């Protein structure tokens, strides 16, 4: 009886991460600015953020967050402020030569903890993700579905998110691509900065509906 539900959740788990948003931009930024490893660490942080959303959805707190204007606004303003902050930092990017470019130097790395933290904060405080999980657990998943199956759905979502963003980090960190971008590295970072700031503004003006 849960077969249609399973395919619906699987489809959303696959397509959800592919939609452009804060997670995609953060993985892209850290991969291009630093390396594949930084992109994968950021991905790990995103998956940890998903655990938060899945946990409160399973225990029913997601509905409270979405219906509480105060809690929802606190979450969205923290998330929006963080995106705008990272965007502002990206706007300060300066040109690099081929010798010292962050695109080609693997020793010039962001720390693992910092990259994970960036991914976690970006995902955990994204109100749109809260709304997504609220809709998933109230409209797609049947209330009669056992807790263990719901946990499986959560793990499935985490798995596909990790796979997708790992693919993104792998593709964007290809040597030929990064070498071609060396000359315009700072422009790429600034464009990413503008995109993050605009996305932060969009998040700040979002609603729970």
Domain range for 91: 3-8+32-204
Query: Residue 23: inside a domain, yes or no?
Result: no
Query: Residue 141: inside a domain, yes or no?
Result: yes
The count of residues in the chain is 209
Tokens representing 141 are 């998943």
Alpha-carbon gap, residue 20 to 31, rounded angstroms? 16
> pLDDT for 192-207, tens place per residue?
778 878 878 887 787 6
> pLDDT for 99-124, tens place per residue?
444 444 444 568 899 999 999 999 99
Number of domains in the chain: 1
Alpha-carbon gap, residue 128 to 35, rounded angstroms? 28
Judged against a pLDDT cut of 50, whether residue 98 lies above it is answered with: no
Query: Residue 22: inside a domain, yes or no?
Result: no
Query: Residue 95: inside a domain, yes or no?
Result: yes
> pLDDT for 49-77, tens place per residue?
999 999 988 887 666 666 677 777 787 78
- Cβ atoms of 173 and 106 within 8 Å: the answer is no
Query: Residue 52: inside a domain, yes or no?
Result: yes
Mean pLDDT computed over 18-31: 89
């Amino acid at each position: 009886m849960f077969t249609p539900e399973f395919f619906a959740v699987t489809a959303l788990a696959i397509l959800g991460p592919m939609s452009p948003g804060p997670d995609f931009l953060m993985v892209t930024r850290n991969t291009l600015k630093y390396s594949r490893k930084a992109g994968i660490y950021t991905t790990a942080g995103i998956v940890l953020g998903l655990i938060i959303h899945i946990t409160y959805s399973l225990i029913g707190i997601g509905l409270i967050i979405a219906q509480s204007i105060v809690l929802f606004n606190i979450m969205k303003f923290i998330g929006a402020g963080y995106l705008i902050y990272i965007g502002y930092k990206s706007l300060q990017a300066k040109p690099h030569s081929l010798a010292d470019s962050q695109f080609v130097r693997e020793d010039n790395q962001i720390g693992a903890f910092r990259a994970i933290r960036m991914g976690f904060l970006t995902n955990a405080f994204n109100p749109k993700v809260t709304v997504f999980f609220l809709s998933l657990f109230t409209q797609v998943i049947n209330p009669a579905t056992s807790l263990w199956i719901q946990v499986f759905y959560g793990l499935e979502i985490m798995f596909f998110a990790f796979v997708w963003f790992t693919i993104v980090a792998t593709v964007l960190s290809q040597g030929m691509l990064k070498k071609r971008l060396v000359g315009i590295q700072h422009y790429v970072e600034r464009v990413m900065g503008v995109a993050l700031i605009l996305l932060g503004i969009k998040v700040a003006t979002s609603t729970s509906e």
